[in-house]
Amino acid sequence: MRVKLLDLGIQYRRIKKEVLREVRKVLDSQGFVLGSNVLGLETEIAEYTGSRYAVGVASGSDAILLSLMALGVGRGDGVITTPYTFFATAGSIARLGAYPIFVDIHPQTYNINPDSLEILLRRRSRSIKVIIPVHLYGQCAEMGAINSLARKYGLKVIEDAAQSIGAEYRGRRAGSLGDAGCFSFYPTKNLGGIGDGGMITTSSKRLDGLLRILRVHGSHRRYYHRVVGVNSRLDEIQAAVLRVKLKYLDSWTEMRIRNAQRYNRFFREKGLTDYVTLPHVEGYNRSVFNQYVVRVKKRDALRAHLSRMGIGTEIYYPLPLHLQRCFRYLGYKRGDFPVAERAARETLALPIYPELSESKQRYVVSAIAEFYRRFG
């Protein structure tokens, strides 16, 4: 049996007629930039996330960059985030001449640890402007504690919700929990387009207006520029496809949750919990399982074994950000964030896409059981 890490073809074939119909409409209209589909998607995403506003941009990375710009982050400012996430989070900070300031993660959720955050803020709060918690793998960070600390120290909060559209923290959805929320529509996301795309959500009228200017070179009307912005617009074809897919998002999310629950049951039935640490979802959270990430013994050997068995896996993320070569100037060293470093050594993502069959899940778990029977 062959089990892909992600099989987008199954999903596409089921909605192909709808997608092609909407793409043809855009092509026939010859309106490709900031048209009715972008406006419609912005309205729908704002409603979906429980935010007042949403602004379509060219990518999830640009969503973070523009949010930082809108909040006045610039050269010499400090921005706190996690060392255990995709590069774009810290990369966007560095592009503005600001400094990524890392804080260690919770050992079970892999999100920012509020206790570590509080210790950091006690030591150095003056140079810091923003906190960027990442809702990793589909689960929200502990936003109550993070927002409380942000208020105490006069900081803004940008949610990196690239992997977590539809995720909930105490009944509120990702993207509505901070000053701004950043989403990615990269094809592998739960709501993925046919290329790059992103969205920023906010309930601030001021931020909404500024973001709309910043995404078009800082121009309020053509050729008249209030500030220096960038060219970062979600295009009409992407928005048209995403509007089709948004209608199915909740059902796909339920399928992901079902698959995660099945994995949990199969691992327990096989007696594998001494070797495989299952994903932990806090009781107040609803995870949308963009990834199903387990912590395992002999990770790299297991991954090679699964590859031989035809099973796709991925490692998110093999080298924490504080140890990346481009961030050496920050002065961090190995051992500074031991929880993140251990996660980078031990975690493995298994297939979790909505259409994954029960038989394929059983095959994945059986292959893992075979590995530990042989190699312990």
Chain segment 325-336, per-residue pLDDT in tens: 999 999 999 999
Q: Would residue 1 count as lying in a domain? A: no
The overall average pLDDT reported for the chain is: 97
Assign 311 to helix, strand or coil. Answer: strand
Are 97 and 116 in contact by the 8 Å Cβ rule? The answer is no
232 and 355 share one domain: no
Per-residue confidence band for 124, with pLDDT thresholds at 50, 70 and 90: confident
Domain assignment of residue 282, given as a range: 249-375
37 and 145 share one domain: yes
CA distances from 213 to 64, 133, 226 (A): 15, 25, 8
Query: What is the rounded average pLDDT of the residues 139-151?
Result: 98
208 and 277 share one domain: no
Share of the chain above pLDDT 70, in %: 100
Query: What is the rounded average pLDDT of the residues 119-142?
Result: 93
Instruction: Report which residue type is found at 27.
Output: L
Q: Residue 97: how many CB atoms within 10 A of its CB?
A: 11
DSSP assignment of 96-136 equals: TT-EEEE--B-TTT-SB-HHHHHHHHHH--TTEEEEE-B-G
Chain segment 179-217, per-residue pLDDT in tens: 999 999 999 999 999 999 999 999 999 999 999 999 999
pLDDT on residue 262 = 98
**Is the predicted pLDDT of residue 376 greater than 90, yes or no?**
no
Strands 180-184 and 156-160: parallel
Instruction: Report which residue type is found at 155.
Output: L
**Is the predicted pLDDT of residue 97 greater than 80, yes or no?**
yes
Per-residue confidence band for 40, with pLDDT thresholds at 50, 70 and 90: very high
Q: Would residue 161 count as lying in a domain? A: yes
**Is the predicted pLDDT of residue 226 greater than 90, yes or no?**
no
pLDDT on residue 274 = 95
Chain segment 18-30, per-residue pLDDT in tens: 999 999 999 999 9
CA distance 169 to 174: 7
Residue 343, domain CATH:
3.90.1150.10
169 and 303 share one domain: no
306 and 206 share one domain: no
Q: Would residue 163 count as lying in a domain? A: yes
Rg (Cα) of the chain, in Å, rounded? 21
Residue after which a domain boundary falls, among 246, 281, 308: 246
104 and 45 share one domain: yes
54 and 179 share one domain: yes
Chain segment 343-362, per-residue pLDDT in tens: 999 999 999 999 999 999 99
Q: What is the number of structural domains in the chain?
A: 2
Query: What is the rounded average pLDDT of the residues 145-160?
Result: 97
pLDDT on residue 137 = 98
Place of tokens 């590859």: 307
48 and 12 share one domain: yes
pLDDT on residue 220 = 87
Per-residue confidence band for 268, with pLDDT thresholds at 50, 70 and 90: very high
pLDDT on residue 289 = 98
* CA pseudo-torsion sign 246, 251, 257, 259: negative
257 and 242 share one domain: no
DSSP secondary structure letter of residue 335: T
98 and 185 share one domain: yes
